Amino acid sequence: MPQTSTDLTHIPALVARQKQWIAQGHSRDVDVRRQQIRRLLSAVEAAEGDLLEAMQQDLAKPATEAWLTDIGTVLEEGEHVLKNLRQWMRPRKAATPWMHSPSSAYQLPEPYGVVAVIGPWNYPVSMLLVPTIGALAAGNAVIIKPSEFVPYTNAVLGRLITDTFPVEEVAWLPGAIPETTALLSEPLDYIFFTGSPAVGRIVMQAAARHLTPVTLELGGKSPVILDEHVDLEVATRRIVWGKCLNAGQTCVAPDYLLVHRKVKAEALAWMQRHLRDFFGPDPQQSPDFGRIIHDRHVARLAGLIEGQIVTGGQVDVADRYVAPTLIEVDNPETHPAMQEEIFGPILPIIPYDRLEEAIRFINARPKPLALYVFTTRSRVRQAVIERTSSGSVCVNDLVVQVGLSDLPFGGVGESGMGSYHGQRSFDTFSHLKSVMRRNFLADAPGRFAPYRVPLALLKPLIRWLG
């Protein structure tokens, strides 16, 4: 299906039109924001069938998986925002010291203005619309730039957005690199990008030209530590599910498994059994296993499959299929699957003997977007949480931490900057303007020149009163 392109000459006019709408102050009304979000949720619900079919065409996503991770996520986030928006918009009081009495101070959330939401292809509905909901909740106008690699989903989403919103409120900007480049060259007020670290650097460089603030939701090699003190059947079932979700094309998917040597053989046996239970003897024939986004990614993933293959390894370029693959890795420093984020259904497995080895291995690499540990021992759990750095940690499960509206989601270091979901989304897309108000009743003694109070007396007095 061809990707619709946008005339680049329209982009400056679009940004200017949205800035004008923001300047008129319409979006400062809480009821306007709530109405926008309700319209969006209603449109998503009405288009549910078309969106599910489109994601199946683009990514071979099973309907249940697509609804849970894309459509359901959007609806849940929207309802959460509607429930709490009035409270989030209230001024936030701040204390004032005695020397400024009588006075009051507070922070007032206000919109940034025009927000660009640049989204990925792997979760083409939720990773565009969840940040859009946050931007609308904060009173911004939004330009949505989708990935060009999901044309069927874009066709449905594009109609949904253009039928639901005038372009000065929310605009749909299809296209590829030229459109993204043209958009980033404009004086935007905020940029929200989800994608790879390589493209994140390009976005940040473009934002620097206008000193535009950014949120970068990137990725990285998210590790799993599998302790020997654990329910192996449950743990391995969750690991296999998290790895195979969306055919491994998930930014918080487990990228490699550090398994205690004592339980490695049993863990591998359980994972092979779960793969058969999930997808049958031939996952390529299963309606519940997705496909890789395009041929180039299939070829890249095929190049990562080498060494001691426990199961899987099959690749069908014509079908964009890469089998769920478990690989035992003897030398992680040189194995190709350990040199980059995999973003596919390949899981390198690395044994360790002591927890210290696993922690040291993780800390020697860039900070991941997510980190997972399976253990029944509090000592192990706390050591991993306290002695590693990652965007998030999930104990005894995978991926599910991303679905909590009250838990901010974001990266650190190479895996990104900034976070969103729930109130954090509202704060991300709001400028918290500091406001202080005084009256004309009095000023603190000694405030104005000529200064007569000795500093030796003034300092302890201020400390005592303050």
Give 33-89 as a 3 state SS string: HHHHHHHHHHHHHHCHHHHHHHHHHHHCCCHHHHHHHHHHHHHHHHHHHHHHHHHHH
Q: How far is CA 131 from the centre of its chain?
A: 9
Domain that holds residue 335: 223-408
Residues 247 and 144 grouped into a single domain: no
What burial letters (b/e) apply to 150-176, b meaning 16+ CB within 10 Å?
A: bbbbbbbbbebbeebbebbbbbbbbbe
Residues 210 and 283 grouped into a single domain: no
Encoded tokens for 66: 């697509």
Which pLDDT value is given to residue 445? 75
Helical spans, DSSP H, in 305-454:
355-363, 378-387, 422-428
Whether 263 maps to a domain, the answer reads: yes
Which pLDDT value is given to residue 435? 96
For residues 162 and 142, give the distance between their C-alpha atoms in angstroms, rounded to a whole number: 12
Q: Would you please indicate which residues are annotated as catalytic (active-site) residues?
A: 217, 251
Whether 41 maps to a domain, the answer reads: yes
Residue 125: φ, ψ to 5°: -100, -55
Whether 383 maps to a domain, the answer reads: yes
Residues 151 and 86 grouped into a single domain: yes
Whether 444 maps to a domain, the answer reads: no
Q: Provide the residue type at 251 as one letter.
A: C
Which pLDDT value is given to residue 103? 87
SS3 256: strand
Residues 208 and 244 grouped into a single domain: no
Encoded tokens for 291: 């496909």
Provide the mean pLDDT of the chain.
Answer: 95
Residues 79 and 205 grouped into a single domain: yes
Residues 249 and 357 grouped into a single domain: yes
CB 375 within 8 A of CB 230: yes
Tens-place pLDDT, residues 361-405: 999 999 999 999 999 999 999 999 999 999 999 999 999 999 999
Q: Span 271-295, mean pLDDT?
A: 97
Which pLDDT value is given to residue 100? 78
Whether the per-residue pLDDT at 43 is higher than 60: the answer is yes
Give the range among 38-52, 69-83, 85-99, 445-459 with minimum mean pLDDT.
445-459
Which pLDDT value is given to residue 2? 44
For residues 39 and 403, give the distance between their C-alpha atoms in angstroms, rounded to a whole number: 22
How many alpha carbons lie under 13 Å from residue 343 in its C-beta half-sphere? 23
Residues 99 and 171 grouped into a single domain: yes
Residues 321 and 387 grouped into a single domain: yes
Whether 230 maps to a domain, the answer reads: yes
The number of domains in the chain is: 2
72's CB contacts (< 8 A; 6+ apart) are none
432 Ramachandran zone, left/alpha/beta (phi>0; psi -120 to 50) = beta
Which pLDDT value is given to residue 466? 62
Residues 315 and 260 grouped into a single domain: yes
Residue 431: φ, ψ to 5°: -85, 120
Encoded tokens for 256: 């490699």
Place of tokens 């005592």: 464
Which pLDDT value is given to residue 465? 67
| 331-338 LR contacts (CB < 8 Å, sep 24+) | 332/256, 332/361, 335/306, 335/307, 336/303, 336/304, 336/306, 337/256, 337/304, 337/305, 337/306, 338/221, 338/256
Whether the per-residue pLDDT at 7 is higher than 80: the answer is no
Tens-place pLDDT, residues 219-230: 999 999 999 999
Encoded tokens for 81: 């925002």
Residue 177: φ, ψ to 5°: -60, -45
Residues 103 and 209 grouped into a single domain: yes
Q: Span 150-159, mean pLDDT?
A: 98
Portion of the chain with pLDDT greater than 90, in percent: 90
Whether 2 maps to a domain, the answer reads: no
Residues 280 and 374 grouped into a single domain: yes
SS3 372: strand
Give the range among 33-47, 84-98, 141-155, 379-393 with minimum mean pLDDT.
84-98
Whether 459 maps to a domain, the answer reads: no
Reported pTM: 0.94
Q: Which CATH number belongs to the domain containing residue 344 in this structure?
A: 3.40.309.10
Last residue of a domain, one of 392, 408, 424: 408
Whether 463 maps to a domain, the answer reads: no
Whether the per-residue pLDDT at 27 is higher than 90: the answer is yes
Q: Which CATH number belongs to the domain containing residue 111 in this structure?
A: 3.40.605.10
Residues 249 and 197 grouped into a single domain: no
113 Ramachandran zone, left/alpha/beta (phi>0; psi -120 to 50) = left
H helix and E strand count, the chain: 16, 20
